[in-house]
Homo-oligomer: A and B are copies of this chain.
């Protein structure tokens, strides 16, 4: 199964520099499970999506991060998830325990972005991201990337873009003599 929304959002993620190479993944609730991009897929050319159930192992070919998506859908009412690797957000997560946006969109929409732990592909990561997204739209897995969720792919993409923008603004403010912490 292919889907225009996945490609459209993937192109935006790529164009904004929120993901590079074939890293990152996206999913959307579908029936009693969800569809997710395949392992190694380019998000801007996602190709065939894989259907996965809300529990148990995912079919061969699904993104290796399917556990995070399962856990988020089980613990929240979100309908779509975008996982990306925005470089400023990843860098911030190495240093900070949570990101406090200083730009006005960040202050309004996600006044504190939690940084969570757990290695890629593990249940620990799935649990910590799901706990964070049960209460909000956005989390940064330390050293790894953003997980953003919402009512559709568009909303999940917007929170991803918001996170990187907030981290850029914090970082760049130091270039003008401001406190970047």
A interface, size bucket: 35 or more
Residue A75 interfacial (CB < 8 Å) = no
Cβ of A173 and Cβ of B20 under 8 Å apart? no
A171 at the B interface (CB under 8 A): yes
- Which residues of B lie under 8 Å from residue A119 when comparing CB positions? 104
Contact of A74 with B by CB under 8 A: no
Q: Which residues of A (121-146) have their CB < 8 Å from a CB of B?
A: 141, 143-145
Distance A144 CA – B95 CA, assembled complex (angstroms): 25
In the assembly, what is the distance between CA of A90 and CA of B16, in Å? 17
Interface string of A163-178 (1 = CB under 8 A from B): 0110111111111111
Whether the Cβ atoms of A143 and B180 lie closer than 8 Å is: no
Identical chains in the assembly: 4
A91–B176 CB distance below 8 A: yes
Q: Decide: A94 and B169 in contact? CB cutoff 8 A.
A: yes
A5 within 8 Å of B (CB atoms): no
Contact pick for A87, options B107, B158, B169, B177, CB 8 Å = B169
Q: Would you call B94 and A165 a contact (CB within 8 A)?
A: no
Contact: B105 with A165, CB < 8 Å?
no
CB <8 Å contact, B94 and A178:
yes
Given contacts A21-B157, A91-B169, 15 further A-B contacts (CB under 8 A): A20-B161, A20-B164, A20-B165, A88-B172, A90-B169, A92-B173, A92-B176, A94-B176, A96-B176, A102-B143, A104-B141, A104-B145, A171-B172, A174-B175, A177-B180
Selected A-B contacts with CB under 8 Å, 20 pairs = A15-B15, A17-B17, A20-B164, A21-B158, A87-B165, A87-B168, A87-B172, A90-B169, A91-B168, A91-B170, A91-B171, A95-B173, A102-B143, A103-B143, A104-B119, A104-B144, A108-B120, A172-B175, A176-B181, A177-B181
